[in-house]
C-alpha cells in the first residue's frame, strides 16, 4: 500500500454491526474505484471477543485497500490509533470510530480540500443518527456534537472524525496511550500550541449512531470521568477543573421538559407523555453515578501513586 495519500484508521473492539456499517460506508463511496488507489483503510482490532475481527477480515479479503491489524492485549482506543498509524503509509491520517458512517462524497471532498491547501488538523460536521425510539437514544441525539464550537473555543475535535497530517501527528508524538478519555482534547490543544492551523469543514458530513440504552450512556459517562481524573492527577494546575466540574450543583437540577419538547419538534422526533415526564430528571442518575465513579477512581489512582 505504498504512495497512499490518506490512511483511514479505525480502532474497534466488539463492534460487529458498527464495523459493518462503517466499512460499507467506505466501500460504497462515490468514485471509490478511483479514490482507493490513494486510500488505505486500517482496522485495528483491540482483541475483540466476538465476531468483529472475522467480519473485518471478510472486508479485507474482498477489498485490497483494507487491511486489519490486531493488538496482542486490550489497550485504550488511543493506543489502538497509535498502532494503526505505525502500520500506515498515508501522508494524511483520517481517524474515525468503528460505528461512524461516511456521507457518500466524504472521501472525495476530503481529497478536494487536501488539493486546495496544506491541512494540519481538520474537523468535520458530525451528525447524530437516531437509531431507536428509546428516550436514551433521543436524548443522546439532542446532545450531539458541536464540533465547530470545539475547534473554535477549545482547539480540538473528537477522534470520531479527525484528519491530521502525519507530520503533525509525529510532531505532537501521537495520542497519550494510557488515557481512557480526553486524549483527543490533549492532542488537539497540543497541535494548537505548536501554532498549527485547525480548520472545520461543515460541508463534509459523517454520521454517528445514537446510544440506545441508559446503560450505554452511563458507561460512556463513567469513561469520561476516568479520563478527567487521570488528567487532573497528572496536572492538577491545568486540569483539576475537569474533575471538579462533576461536583457542580447544576448537574443535578431538573431541566425544563418544554425545552426538550421544542427541540424534539424541531427535529421531527416523537416525544410522548412518558418522555415528557421523565425528561427533566433523565440526566440526574447519570450525573450521580458519574460523580461517585469519579470520586472512587480518584482515590484509587491516588492510592496507587502513594
pLDDT in tens, 247-300: 999 999 999 999 999 999 999 999 999 999 999 999 999 999 999 999 999 999
Give the rounded distance of the alpha carbon of 254 from its chain centre: 28
Number of separate helices (H) and strands (E) present in the chain = 14, 8
Phi, psi of 242 (to 5 degrees): -65, -35
Q: Which long-range contacts (CB under 8 A, 24 or more apart) does 83-86 make?
A: 83/44, 84/7, 84/9, 84/10, 84/11, 84/42, 84/44, 85/7, 85/9, 85/166, 85/169, 85/174
User: Which percentage of the chain shows pLDDT scores above 90?
Assistant: 95
CATH topology of domain 6-209: Spore Coat Polysaccharide Biosynthesis Protein SpsA; Chain A (3.90.550)
pLDDT in tens, 117-153: 999 999 999 999 999 999 999 999 999 999 999 999 9
User: Which percentage of the chain shows pLDDT scores above 70?
Assistant: 99
What is the C-alpha to C-alpha distance for residues 161 and 147, in angstroms, rounded to an integer? Answer: 10
- Evaluate if residue 74 carries a pLDDT over 70: yes
How large is the average pLDDT for residues 208-226? Answer: 97
Task: Enter the C-alpha cell of residue 259.
Answer: 425545552
What is the C-alpha to C-alpha distance for residues 261 and 286, in angstroms, rounded to an integer? Answer: 21
* DSSP class of 151: I
Asked if residues 99 and 77 have their Cβ atoms less than 8 Å apart, the reply is no
Q: What is the structure's pLDDT at 183? A: 96
Q: Mean pLDDT for the chain?
A: 96
What is the C-alpha to C-alpha distance for residues 253 and 281, in angstroms, rounded to an integer? Answer: 8
Q: What is the structure's pLDDT at 1? A: 46
Asked if residues 180 and 226 have their Cβ atoms less than 8 Å apart, the reply is yes
pLDDT in tens, 147-175: 999 999 999 999 999 999 999 999 999 99
What is the C-alpha to C-alpha distance for residues 217 and 207, in angstroms, rounded to an integer? Answer: 18
CA dihedral 198, 44, 30, 25 (to 10 degrees): -110
Q: What is the structure's pLDDT at 3? A: 81
How large is the average pLDDT for residues 99-115? Answer: 97
Q: How big is the chain by its Cα radius of gyration, in Å?
A: 20
Classify the phi-psi angles of 173: left when phi > 0, otherwise alpha if psi is within -120 to 50, otherwise beta.
left
Indicate the domain borders of the chain.
6-209, 214-305
Query: pLDDT band at residue 34, thresholds of 50, 70 and 90?
Result: confident
pLDDT in tens, 12-27: 999 999 999 999 999 9
Which tops the pLDDT comparison, 51 or 1? 51
Q: What is the structure's pLDDT at 220? A: 96
pTM of the model: 0.94
Strands 39-45 and 66-70: parallel
Query: pLDDT band at residue 73, thresholds of 50, 70 and 90?
Result: confident
Query: pLDDT band at residue 2, thresholds of 50, 70 and 90?
Result: low
Alpha helices in the chain (DSSP H): 16-27, 32-35, 52-62, 77-86, 106-116, 135-143, 147-149, 166-172, 183-193, 214-234, 236-244, 257-266, 273-278, 283-305
Per-residue CA distances from 129 to 82, 100, 142 (Å): 28, 10, 10
Amino acid at each position: 500500500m505504498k504512495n497512499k495519500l490518506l490512511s483511514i484508521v479505525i480502532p474497534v473492539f466488539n463492534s460487529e454491526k458498527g464495523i459493518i456499517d462503517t466499512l460499507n460506508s467506505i466501500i460504497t463511496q462515490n468514485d471509490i474505484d478511483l479514490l482507493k488507489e490513494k486510500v488505505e483503510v486500517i482496522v485495528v482490532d483491540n482483541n475483540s471477543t466476538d465476531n468483529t475481527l472475522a467480519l473485518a477480515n471478510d472486508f479485507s479479503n474482498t477489498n485490497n485497500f483494507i487491511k486489519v491489524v490486531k493488538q496482542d492485549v486490550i489497550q485504550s482506543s488511543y493506543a489502538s490509533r497509535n498502532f494503526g498509524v505505525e502500520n500506515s503509509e498515508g501522508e494524511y491520517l483520517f481517524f474515525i470510530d468503528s460505528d461512524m458512517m461516511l456521507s457518500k462524497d466524504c472521501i472525495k471532498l476530503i481529497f478536494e480540500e487536501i488539493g486546495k491547501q496544506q491541512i494540519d488538523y481538520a474537523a468535520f460536521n458530525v451528525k447524530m443518527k437516531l437509531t431507536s425510539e428509546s428516550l436514551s437514544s433521543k436524548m443522546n441525539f439532542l446532545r450531539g456534537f458541536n464540533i465547530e464550537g470545539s475547534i473554535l473555543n477549545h482547539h480540538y475535535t473528537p477522534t470520531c472524525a479527525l484528519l491530521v497530517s502525519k507530520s503533525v501527528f509525529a510532531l505532537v508524538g501521537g495520542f497519550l496511550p494510557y488515557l481512557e478519555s480526553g486524549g483527543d482534547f490533549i492532542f488537539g490543544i497540543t497541535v494548537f500550541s505548536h501554532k498549527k492551523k485547525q480548520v472545520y469543514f461543515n460541508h463534509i458530513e459523517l454520521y454517528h449512531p445514537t446510544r440506545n440504552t441508559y446503560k450505554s450512556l452511563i458507561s460512556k459517562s463513567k469513561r469520561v470521568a476516568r479520563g478527567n481524573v487521570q488528567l487532573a492527577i497528572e496536572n492538577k494546575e491545568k486540569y483539576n477543573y475537569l474533575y471538579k466540574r462533576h461536583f457542580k450543583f447544576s448537574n443535578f437540577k431538573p431541566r425544563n421538559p418544554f425545552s426538550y419538547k421544542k427541540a424534539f419538534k424541531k427535529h421531527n422526533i416523537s416525544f410522548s407523555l412518558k418522555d415528557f415526564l421523565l425528561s427533566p430528571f433523565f440526566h440526574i442518575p447519570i450525573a450521580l453515578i458519574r460523580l461517585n465513579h469519579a470520586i472512587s477512581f480518584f482515590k484509587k489512582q491516588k492510592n496507587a501513586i502513594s
